[in-house]
A = this chain, B = another copy of it.
Amino acid sequence: MPQSEPTPIRRPRADRARQVADVLRHQIHAGGYAGGLPGEQDLAAEFFVSRNTIREALATLKNEGLIERGPKVGTHVAVRKYDHGLDRLVGLQETFKDYGEVHNQVRTVAHLAAPPAVARRLRLQPGESVVFVERLRYVSDLPLSLDQTYLAPDIGAEVLRHPLEHNDVFSLIEQVSGQRLGSATLALEAVSADPHSAATLQVPTGAALLMLERLTSLDDGRPVDLEYIRMRGDRITMRGSLIRSIP
């Protein structure tokens, strides 16, 4: 057998179902099925698989909370997912201005002694005071993310003079510092929700969260904002682009 024409291995149905589910997931996020998904038979024809495989793929998407299925009513998209850009440094409110109103429930505002690891990243002395803010963020009344923010003391004190309920911290930092933000380093992980975070975000314990750690600097290079952001995995997609070579 020439290597260029392999015979397909007989694959378990679960593999084929995953393959179908991934393509459907993409189409759902892209807004492709606003009026409901096609019937099982049509999907089976579209994907060249059996109806049982389609059923298994749809069961996976239903378990993820992405679609609703019912006899007679058919299959519908249950959750609107929001795109968050990975190409530019923007706050949630800037990002979602076309989706709906962002509002923040401020759960904690405190002056804390910075733990050494926080102090180091914000270039402070260990134990030096930082401003800590915890917010639960909503878009159109749906809880989206739980944000813990550590701010450099001078910037933080000024930021707290402004209402946090309807402002991005990013825009407040720029306002009080008189500088543009410069850049940020970020780390993205998938974590399972601990019971308390799950309850706060209104998801089941263990639900998949997208965890973003982001250290943001002013235009002059000084790091002023360290954030730990837990985003609901079922509500947010991070989107960006990459190039092969460094320009």
Contact B209–A190 (Cβ < 8 Å): yes
Contact A233–B190 (Cβ < 8 Å): yes
Which residues of B have CB within 8 Å of A15? Answer: 107-108, 134, 196
Q: A117-B27, A190-B209 are in contact. Are A148 and B242 (CB under 8 A)?
A: no
Stretch in A69-77, A96-104, A178-186 with 4+ CB within 8 Å of B: A178-186
CB-nearest residue of chain B relative to A228? Answer: B22
The DSSP consensus for interface residues of chain A is mixed
* Residue of B63, B208, B245 touching A208 (CB-CB under 8 A): B208
Contact A243–B196 (Cβ < 8 Å): no
Q: Mark A130-168, 1 if CB is under 8 A from B, else 0.
A: 001010000000000000100000000110110000000
What's the Cα separation between A206 and B208 when bound, in Å?
Answer: 8
CB-nearest residue of chain B relative to A197? Answer: B18
Contact B4–A187 (Cβ < 8 Å): no
CB-nearest residue of chain B relative to A206? Answer: B206
Give the size category of A's interface with B: 35 or more
Q: A88-B244, A180-B245 are in contact. Are A48 and B191 (CB under 8 A)?
A: no
* Residue of B160, B181, B188, B231 touching A4 (CB-CB under 8 A): B160
A6-B110, A11-B110, A187-B239 known, 14 other contacts, Cβ within 8 Å: A4-B157, A5-B111, A6-B109, A19-B134, A19-B148, A19-B228, A21-B194, A23-B117, A26-B117, A88-B244, A89-B243, A186-B241, A190-B231, A210-B210
